[in-house]
Structure 1
Amino acid sequence: MKVLQFTIPVPLDKSIIVQKDVLPYFYPHLHRHQEIQLTWIQQGEGTLVADNNMHSFRSNEIYWLGANQPHIFKSESSYFLPKSRKKIVALVIFFNPYGELSAFFNLPEIKLLKNFVQQHQSGFKVPPEHAVEISGKMLKVTNSTGTEQLIHFVDLLKQLSTYADITPLASGQKTQLVSEHEGIRVGNIYNYIMQHYDKPITLEDAAKQAHMTPQAFCRFFKKHTLHTFVSFLNEVRINEACKKLTDGTYDNIATVAYTCGFNSITNFNRVFKTVTCKSPSEYINSYFQSVEHA
């Protein structure tokens, strides 16, 4: 999907770009760039859309995004409130294995690392049990320069390549390439749904945002996202419900269901199990068991 193609500014004396973001919220538009992106969410929460899949993200999580992989870290709605004092903090490493580093990645000694990069074009989340280790290596890259920085960068990639429990962020099926205009339209629809998921949203409402008839909108949305409108809306709502169920701020499951846009607990339970393959209570138990063993 050709979506807001970015060119990451690369200094003449750098092939690895390190960026520290301290902002009111993450960049709110679907975009992509030639560089692979490794992002450590130091502070912030929301929903990551990568290709045609959604994932909740929280502080102290690390994500690898492939070259030219459409993505958006969408901050929670509370970050956009007029009087919000919240901020996001992220450490990001960008590199292009097909640009300045192409000769390096073509060295026979780097073959295993090159294979690792090529095998993970759909991105992945660093397994939670390895997040401390990888964040430490990212800091070494950040706090060094020249040859030392390149050595720490290779060490970072080498460590990532040893993990066997990596799950892609996106399915193998890719969305079709579309024009810049269509990509921006898809991004606007994503934004609208993510900002209004907690209210009743009809197909007609979404179609109006795209300036299309409902029938044309259905065809367009399925073609470019691999989702129906309803399945995408349900995934957004369930992603938000998962965050609310595990952050301890809601008294019960029913309250979470209604604050995420569901009009009945029965429908919420059914959709929740369809999306996560678990009931809400099973999901809560599984989450806190994994936290205890992390």
Structure 2
Amino acid sequence: MKQIIREITPINNDDFFVLLNHPCAKFDFPTHYHYEYELNMVFNFHGKRIVGDSVENICSSDLVLIGPNTFHSWSGAPDFRTHCITIQFSPELFTNCFLHKNLFRPIKEMLDLSSKGISFPPEKNEKIVVLLLELTKKKGFDTVVDFLNLLYQLAISTNKQVLCSPNFTQDYYELKSRRIKIVYQYLQKNYGNKIAVADVAKLINMTESGFCHFFKKRTQKSFVDFLNDLRIGEAARMLLETTHTISEISYNCGFCNMSNFNRIFKKKKGCTPTQFRDENTHTVTIY
């Protein structure tokens, strides 16, 4: 199987959702997955869309809801007219007691189904497209109300289609492993500190060499590479959400020196931390 990348999104536990608005989108990110739900709206796009085992050619606009850990990608020829709006939100956003209320049942059923990807043809869901565009202009508490309304309108839409086949499964993903979950939770809490492989291996009662082999097999990445992804993801969030200096962010994300941080950041993001902050400050909004 071709390697599928786990994306670390710029969301933390205090955020409601993140909205990424790219007027001149470039679809150069490989097939990937992440822990969060994703609603993706693409205008003026000509190319291929992959969601799980669904592969479709898109020749205009596209609106898709993708569940946690379902791999996906868009690829096509660059076009300056292509506009992409992405909303990402954590599964923890809605507690069980909240979603089990009668009024929220349609949303719960939709989110459960999104593990297989759901397509909403934009030409048949014009009201939803308008709501999404309006959300990009809102600030403050109103965004939460409008976001919930957007989800509800998606949930009750009669013009939607499940993308993946009934037999599609996500067993590939490392978060299905209890031991990997333990490691991931530990890394999320301690990424800013010095982390030794031997100490992490002890968490799941494995030798260091055995752990490295197990981790690489389950995640398709070395432990160090996975940890760097997590740290760079958090650094990217801090670059957009805070006014901390780059050196402060580097230190807070567990990097021992600036040159190492800059080198790894550029390798992962394709640009320096300064360039990333300058280019994305006005395209990414965290609520």
- Deviation string 1:44-84 (CA, Å, 9 cap, x unpaired) is 221011111201123332111122110110113xx3xxxxx
| Alpha carbons of structure 1 residues 22 and 130: separation in structure 2 relative to 1, 3 Å | same
Q: How far off its partner does 1:127 sit?
A: 2.6
**Distance in 2 separating the partners of 1:70 and 1:136:** 27
Q: How far off its partner does 1:110 sit?
A: 2.3
**8 A Cα contact 1:27 1:72, kept in partner:** no
Q: How far off its partner does 1:149 sit?
A: 0.7
Give the match for residue 15 of structure 2.
14
**Is residue 171 of structure 1 aligned with residue 172 of structure 2?**
no
**Distance in 2 separating the partners of 1:128 and 1:89:** 14
User: SS where residue 55 of structure 2 aligns?
Assistant: strand
Question: Which of 77, 99, 116 is matched with 1:122 structurally?
Answer: 116
**Distance in 2 separating the partners of 1:144 and 1:165:** 26
| Alpha carbons of structure 1 residues 162 and 56: separation in structure 2 relative to 1, 3 Å | same
Which runs of 5 or more structure 2 residues have no equivalent in the other structure?
Answer: 174-217, 222-287
Cα RMSD, aligned residues only: 2.7
Give the match for residue 92 of structure 2.
99
**Distance in 2 separating the partners of 1:161 and 1:25:** 29
**8 A Cα contact 1:140 1:149, kept in partner:** no
**8 A Cα contact 1:41 1:58, kept in partner:** no
Q: How far off its partner does 1:152 sit?
A: 0.6
Instruction: Give the aligned residue type for 2:56.
Output: H
Instruction: Give the aligned residue type for 1:42.
Output: F
**8 A Cα contact 1:15 1:101, kept in partner:** no
**Distance in 2 separating the partners of 1:6 and 1:124:** 20
**8 A Cα contact 2:27 2:76, kept in partner:** yes
**Distance in 2 separating the partners of 1:53 and 1:112:** 24
Give the match for residue 128 of structure 2.
134
| Alpha carbons of structure 1 residues 130 and 24: separation in structure 2 relative to 1, 3 Å | closer
Q: How far off its partner does 1:109 sit?
A: 4.2
User: SS where residue 27 of structure 1 aligns?
Assistant: coil
**Distance in 2 separating the partners of 1:22 and 1:164:** 29
Give the match for residue 37 of structure 2.
36
Show the 5 A alignment for 1:45-194: 45-76=46-77, 79=78, 86=80, 88-96=82-90, 98-102=91-95, 104-105=98-99, 109-175=103-169, 176-177=171-172, 179-181=218-220
**8 A Cα contact 1:43 1:87, kept in partner:** yes
% same residue = 19
Larger mean CA deviation between 39-48 and 171-180 belongs to 171-180
Instruction: Give the aligned residue type for 2:143.
Output: Q
Q: How far off its partner does 1:25 sit?
A: 2.5
| Alpha carbons of structure 1 residues 14 and 139: separation in structure 2 relative to 1, 3 Å | farther
User: SS where residue 54 of structure 1 aligns?
Assistant: strand
User: SS where residue 120 of structure 1 aligns?
Assistant: helix
Instruction: Give the aligned residue type for 1:64.
Output: L
Q: How far off its partner does 1:86 sit?
A: 4.2
Q: How far off its partner does 1:88 sit?
A: 3.2
